[in-house]
A and B are shown apart, each in its own frame.
Chain A
Amino acid sequence: MSGFNRDMPSPEESFENAPVVLRLSGVTKRFGSLTANDAISFSVRRGEIVALLGENGAGKTTLMNILFGHYVADEGTVEAFGKELPAGDPRAALNAGIGMVHQHFTLAENMSVLENIVLGTESMWLIRFDHRAARTRIRKLANDFGLAVDPDKRVAALSVGERQRVEILKALYRDARVLILDEPTAVLTPNETEALFRTLKILVAEGLSIIFISHKLNEVMAVSDRVLVLRGGRLVGESVTSRTTRAELAQLMVGREIPPPSVAPATVGGPILTFNEVSTARTGTGTPLDKVSFSLNAGEITGLAGVSGNGQAALAALLSGIERPMSGSITIGGKPVANWSPQAALSSGIGRIPEDRHAIGTIVDMSVTENAISERYRTRFSRHGFLDWSAARSFAEEIIRDYDVKCPSPETRIRLLSGGNMQKLILGRALDSDPSIILANQPTRGLDVGAVSYVHQRLLQARERGAAILLISEDLDEILALADRIVVISKGRLSAPSARGERSVREIGELMAGHQDAALELAGAGNAA
């Protein structure tokens, strides 16, 4: 704990005299028995970047919703530029000069950048709108702050990084003096992240203040002037960034030391599942797979790195059995698969951990028992069409015990479980039958650190017993820690695989951004490992 002051520390010298632009005093918000925010007080000064660090569920989002008037705090006040904001009025924060860039962008895809930015700023009754003045102003803002984007382009044609710039421009156009960024780097490549950080530095140099919400320690260390740590709804620490360390922050975040997973060298067996030039149909807005060839080997974790939305969803849907290949073939255990379906995937021995626990992984209004048996209710838990509820219940109890699912009873509706416990149930359901292939799609997203390391341990155990694992993650650190072999997906195509440590983070970042490294570019099906 050296150098870290758990009490309110004196702010760093350079900001000591800067005026306070935002002050939260004793903000408390309870949902039933849960206290999401517990007497949180802090202030933000002009020209500083304050990082709000905390695991999912620590209360960051609730706090921001209170700040923006979406929730009404049970106790406490929010003050902007010396004036108290009226509770429960979303316009008040905007009018006071607070802007927010959400993790999920709020842009109309079929409109131009300019239209998106001015949307809602002009009176509804105005007959003619001065596009030229708006365009000039946007150009100037873009130039001043290094936010290069063409005002007349349609948003649908923009990359993710550009869209984020539009969101920031939107806030600046409304004269935001305090900018809140919610997990801004989750959708960016490492290089785009660097560009964003440069922009943030320019913004604060111009006198804006920034609240940077994140759970990624290295980014917080890189960009912020001051760090606030939230845990379980309480502000557990505050420090000038230069006076603290990653380890210290991590410990504060989780309340205990997190051991990195110790990974023994893999004993790799032969290929269990092989994709041969597989393409999928375009569905909705997702990127389809484009002639993808690779295989998964027994006893090996293959990490699939990539920026969100580059075909991971299509690949996961294919392995889960939800989608069928449009062309190409899938071979499992040497036999080509036919009549591909979720049922076929299950009976081919694929254990599936889906990306979205609420929408796909579980049926939240059904009980723990009903969810536990959902993949095997026909084969294992019914006789002559009748369900064997006592067998189902004891199976659920077994998973609850073996996978440490915390829930009041097997009859509890899933909706009432925390994300971590939901994920443990899914893990139990997927791994209980010792599948030979495991699809783990973002298995730790949004989980607290305890649950993360639990999931990692379980995946490593499955590898020990010889399962072939595909780990899809947008968290490069997770892939670097767990994967024996890394492939990068970009625009629906896969890079050639590289062994642990073979490519640098920078090289992987380049591949994620879509720059194929010529030497390693996948020449054809033949060299797929």
Chain B
Amino acid sequence: MRLEPKPQPSLAETLFYPLGAIVATFAVAALLVLAAGASPFSVFALVAKGAAGSQFALLETLTRATPLIFTGLAVAVAFRARLWNIGAEAQLYIGAVVTIVLGTGALPLPAPILLPVIMLAVMAAGALLLLGPAVLKTSFGVDEVVTTLLLNFIVLLFVSMLLEGVLKDPMGLGWPQSKRVIADAQLPRLITGKRLHFGFVIAIAAAVVTWVIMKKTALGYEMRAVGHNPDAARFAGIPVNRVLMKTALLSGGLAALAGFSEVAGLKGNLTLDLSPGFGYTGIVVAMLALLNPLGVVAAAIFVAGIFVGADAMSRSAGVPSYIAEVMVATALLTMVTAIMLTRYRIRWR
């Protein structure tokens, strides 16, 4: 069996295979639902209803999508330049830590100034956290997959230490949690009384800005060139290492915003379960979006919808909500297969 590249995939093919991927994903999930003793169609209907069937469901999906847009953008930007940032989870937590440090009353500024200041500091912290692995990669050839992945655990333990120590809320009844951010450091809710917050708007804006950077600027051109072929990019005079640094700064900053938005927009304080793996799910989101920044928004809402919908479904149908994890994982695998089939033809002998 071998793969032969197709010269130029037709429009029909580029549409057919991704659609096939979605069908295949539901087919796999349907088998599992059958195994759990329920009817696939009613379960899928419940998932859809739970994700978008009411105003509450829809807002909940968008709320869940917000951090995924940030981490998805962070991964999309980095992967485009072939900087394998697996550390969005760590950058998210660092962003949350900075939000707590600056947002619990340390800075006596009014909200319109305080929030941008915190955002800038958050982005700088996330950017610096990814700069380390990027420097190690360009100077010593240390694999950034290893360094960024392991940093996730280091940072999580570091946050744990802070929450048991200097950042621990004295009024927290001994729980490892931080103080709550002051009112001026909170992102406003978009609809009074609902959970969807201004972080979603910032996420959409971040996606648009990232898209403009990738498509319209010299930096975006450099990042794509470095990602496709660093040797040729270097030959053409593109400063490859500097481009990788800039990519790291951008990617780390975007991922850190996820932590800021979760703390300042939704949770109000920092706990160790702030992120149920938003950093890792960001990789899935970015891949499903084919690394396109605007696609990241759609992919993040899709993935969030499946999670939110599966939670609701599991309450009423009794099928475990882990079906959501299976569906997202299957969607990733089938989508990657679909991309391959769009570009290559399989020869069986």
User: Which A residues lie at the B interface, using CB under 8 A?
Assistant: 31-33, 72, 87-88, 320-322, 341-343, 345-346, 352, 354, 359-366, 370, 374-375, 377-378, 382, 385-387, 389, 416
B234 interface neighbour in A72, A342, A365, A386, Cβ under 8 Å: A342
Q: Are B218 and A343 neighbours in the complex by a CB distance under 8 Å?
A: no
B218 interface neighbour in A87, A346, A378, Cβ under 8 Å: A378
Determine how close the nearest CB of chain A comes to the CB of B141; give it in whole angstroms.
Answer: 14
B231 close to chain A: CB less than 8 A: yes
Q: Which residues of A contact B239 (CB under 8 A)?
A: 343
CA distance A375 to B6 in the complex (A): 29
Top 8 A-B pairs, shortest CB-CB distance: A374-B236, A342-B237, A343-B237, A382-B218, A363-B229, A363-B228, A88-B349, A363-B232
A89 and chain B: residue at smallest CB distance: B349
Which of B57-65, B219-227, B319-327 interfaces with chain A? B219-227
Determine how close the nearest CB of chain B comes to the CB of A47; give it in whole angstroms.
Answer: 35
Q: Are B229 and A364 neighbours in the complex by a CB distance under 8 Å?
A: yes
Choose among B220, B221, B349 the residue with the greatest number of A CB atoms under 10 Å from its CB.
B221
Determine how close the nearest CB of chain A comes to the CB of B24; give it in whole angstroms.
Answer: 27
A87 and chain B: residue at smallest CB distance: B349
CA distance A48 to B143 in the complex (A): 54
Q: Are A361 and B235 neighbours in the complex by a CB distance under 8 Å?
A: yes
Q: Are A386 and B217 neighbours in the complex by a CB distance under 8 Å?
A: yes
B7 close to chain A: CB less than 8 A: yes
A32 and chain B: residue at smallest CB distance: B7
CA distance A143 to B218 in the complex (A): 63
Q: Which residues of A contact B6 (CB under 8 A)?
A: 32
CA distance A345 to B224 in the complex (A): 23
Taking CB atoms and an 8 Å cut-off, the chain B residues in 209-261 that contact chain A are 216-222, 224-225, 228-229, 231-239
B139 close to chain A: CB less than 8 A: no
A341 interface neighbour in B218, B221, B228, B237, Cβ under 8 Å: B237
B240 and chain A: residue at smallest CB distance: A342
B4 close to chain A: CB less than 8 A: yes
CA distance A31 to B8 in the complex (A): 12
Q: Which residues of B contact A359 (CB under 8 A)?
A: 229, 231-232
With an 8 Å Cβ cutoff, the count of chain B residues facing the other chain is 26
Q: Which residues of B contact A386 (CB under 8 A)?
A: 216-218
Q: Which residues of B contact A374 (CB under 8 A)?
A: 225, 232-233, 236-238
Question: What are 22 of the A-B contact pairs (CB < 8 Å)?
Answer: A342-B236, A343-B237, A352-B235, A359-B231, A360-B231, A360-B235, A363-B233, A364-B228, A364-B229, A365-B229, A366-B224, A370-B221, A377-B218, A378-B218, A382-B217, A385-B219, A386-B216, A386-B218, A387-B216, A387-B221, A389-B216, A416-B8
Q: Are A360 and B232 neighbours in the complex by a CB distance under 8 Å?
A: yes
CA distance A378 to B220 in the complex (A): 12
CA distance A355 to B40 in the complex (A): 59
Determine how close the nearest CB of chain B comes to the CB of A92; give it in whole angstroms.
Answer: 13
CA distance A72 to B7 in the complex (A): 19
Q: Which residues of B contact A33 (CB under 8 A)?
A: 7
Known: A88-B349, A343-B237, A377-B222. 9 other contacts (CB 8 A): A33-B7, A320-B235, A354-B235, A363-B233, A370-B225, A374-B236, A374-B238, A377-B218, A389-B216
Q: Which residues of B contact A375 (CB under 8 A)?
A: 236-237
CA distance A366 to B236 in the complex (A): 13
A70 and chain B: residue at smallest CB distance: B2
A322 interface neighbour in B216, B217, B235, B349, Cβ under 8 Å: B235
CA distance A374 to B230 in the complex (A): 12
Q: Which residues of B contact A345 (CB under 8 A)?
A: 237
Q: Which residues of A contact B347 (CB under 8 A)?
A: 72
A377 interface neighbour in B216, B221, B228, B234, Cβ under 8 Å: B221
Given A31-B4, A88-B349, A385-B219, also A321-B232 (CB < 8 A): no
CA distance A33 to B347 in the complex (A): 17
Q: Which residues of B contact A322 (CB under 8 A)?
A: 234-235
Given A32-B7, A416-B7, also A362-B234 (CB < 8 A): no
Q: Are B232 and A385 neighbours in the complex by a CB distance under 8 Å?
A: no
A346 and chain B: residue at smallest CB distance: B237
A385 interface neighbour in B217, B224, B233, Cβ under 8 Å: B217
